[in-house]
Amino acid sequence: MNMPGNHNVLNSLATIAIATDEGVSDEAIVQGLSGFQGVGRRFQVYGELPVDGGNVMLVDD
C-alpha cells in the first residue's frame, strides 16, 4: 500500500480480515492492495514549486 495515513492502514487491515473471511486468497489480497492507488484528487502530488528559501510540494487533497 502506497498511501500515507494511519487510517489507510486500518482500512487495509479491515479489508484483509473481510476478504480472508470470504475466502479470497492471500495472493489476490496482496495484488489488490498493492495495485490500489486511491481515488482521484486525494493526495495527488503535482510536483514542487520553487519559493524563496526552498521548494513547496503541491498536493491536491
Encode pLDDT of 8-58 as tens digits: 899 999 999 999 999 999 999 999 999 888 787 878 889 999 999 999 999
Question: What is residue 14's three-state secondary structure?
Answer: helix
CA distance 22 to 9: 20
Element (H, E) at 47: strand 44-51
Residue type, 31: Q
State the Cα angle at 5 between 54 and 26, rounded to 5°.
130
Output the pTM of the full model.
0.64
